Amino acid sequence: EKDGYDYFMLKEIAEQPKAVADTLLGRIDASGTLSLDEVRIPASVLREVNKIVIVACGTAFHAGMIAKYAIEHWTRIPCETELASEFRYRDPILDERTLVVAISQSGETMDTLMALRHAREQGARVLAICNTNGSTIPRESDAVLYTHAGPEVAVASTKAFLTQLVACYLVALYLGQVRGTKWGDEIGSVVRELSEIAVQVEQVLGTMEPVRELARSLADKNTVLFLGRHVGYPVAMEGALKLKELAYMHAEGFAAGELKHGPIALIEQDLPVVVVVPSPRGRSVLHDKIVSNIQEIRARGARTIVIAEEGDETVVPYADHLVRIPATPTLLQPLVATVPLQVFACELATARGNEVDQPRNLAKSVTVE
Ligand code: F6R
């Protein structure tokens, strides 16, 4: 069943272009209009939504963090993303105009299930984004948008994450379409770019050999840090989570702007730091800020592993290792920027002799609170 791959994780990483394409299939028509009829929440109800709350755990939580940026940008509806395990215990403010989005690959995660039950008790509507047909979370939600990643066997989530992102973008763009926000024009062009993203994921997969080589060379390190800004921040957190669970290494993802507020004290000679660089086009101020962050850490001895868009030459002088990803709009960049981090963690785990598909102490679906 591993189709010739050594691990399910490798197979699932390779399946990502198809998983992404399948999740888009039938949801965008030829004119670039989204049709999410399967989301049985009427447009009239969606127009009344005044707050969105996303609940999820682990990797799905990182997808939700990225969704917040997209939803607020395209819909102008206030959105917060919260760890499902924290949500219910702080008496969150919810009512009939709140849309709660519960993201879960398995559909059985107890923390997420308890959070959505609590939300429905308060009158909120719940939309599930889920990869498992007929599982408990979609059954107990008002509506569901299925991700079509296919079965994910490896404990570490990869293709499910990418499809969760696609589903989140679809929800954000659909809400923008239904409500007609000032970003109307942008929505059409983003939908087009999203339709092409599977090809770009495929391109990234074709250039991963240097990343694997780099990972093997770091097998005796104790710590790796990850930095990002904007949507690159949750990508950094996801890169760190993959490394913790697979390589059993100390890894942390930071918002690059927070460096100077503490974490920069961790930088020492030869410490590997992965930096996710946003596109220099569009919101270029973000890009320039992160380039100075790279300079700051490098001046203090960090070994910089820079993930940057093709054609971005400004990072070249400060990158000890440069990983190129295709040009995408910043909000969509996580779909291509996450892939090298998955490959990196998988290869490091292998180099350290770890069991890639079954990391110690972890289960594929966590059905206890
Ligand atoms: C990490 C990982 C976990 C899950 C989390 C939520 O690679 O797989 O962090 O993402 O346990 O699981 P689901 O999405 O099934 O609710």
Measured in angstroms, how far is the CA atom of residue 164 from the centroid of ligand 1?
Answer: 11
289 annotated active-site: no
Q: Is the CB of 106 under 6 A from ligand 1?
A: yes
Identity of the residue numbered 274: V
Give the model confidence (pLDDT) of 10-20 as tens digits.
999 999 999 99
Ligand 1 atom closest to residue 106's alpha carbon, by position in its atom list = 15
Residue 60, ligand 1, Cβ within 6 A: yes
Mean pLDDT on 195-215: 97
Q: Is the pLDDT score of 299 beyond 90? A: yes
pLDDT at 86: 96
Q: Any alpha helices (H) in the chain, and if so which ranges? A: 8-14, 16-24, 43-48, 58-75, 84-87, 110-121, 136-139, 159-179, 184-195, 197-205, 209-217, 232-247, 284-299, 334-351
Q: Could you tell me the pLDDT band of residue 65, with boundaries at 50, 70 and 90? A: very high
pLDDT digits (tens, 9 = 90+) for 84-142: 999 988 889 999 999 999 999 999 999 999 999 999 999 999 999 999 999 999 999 99
Give the pLDDT mean for 10-36.
92
What three-state secondary structure class fits 52? strand
Catalytic residue among 18, 51, 244, 364: 364
Look-up of token digits 């919101």:
283
220 and 355 Cβ atoms separated by less than 8 Å? no
Mean pLDDT of 197-219: 98
pLDDT at 181 over 80: no
- Test site for ligand 1: of 106, 133, 248, most ligand atoms within 8 A of the Cβ: 106
What pLDDT was estimated at residue 157? Answer: 97
| Mean per-residue pLDDT, 152-168 | 96
What mean pLDDT comes out for the span 321-340?
96
ipTM of the complex: 0.98
pLDDT of the residue at 182: 64
Average pLDDT of the chain? 94
pLDDT at res. 183: 66
Nearest Cα residue to atom 7 of ligand 1: 156
How confident is the model over 284-298, as a mean pLDDT? 94
Residue 58: CB within 6 Å of ligand 1?
yes
Does residue 30 carry a pLDDT above 90? no
- Note the pLDDT of residue 362: 87
Q: Which band of pLDDT confidence, cut at 50, 70 and 90, is reported for residue 212?
A: very high
Report whether pLDDT(357) > 90: no
∠ CA 41-42-44, nearest 5°, is: 130
Taking the C-alpha atoms of residue 135 and residue 364, their distance in angstroms, rounded to an integer, is: 14
Q: Which residue do the tokens 């990850």 mark?
A: 226
Structure-token pair, residue 295: 């300079």
Q: What is the mean pLDDT of residues 152-181?
A: 93
* Residue 283 scores a pLDDT above 70: no
Ligand 1 pocket, residue 156 CB under 6 Å: yes
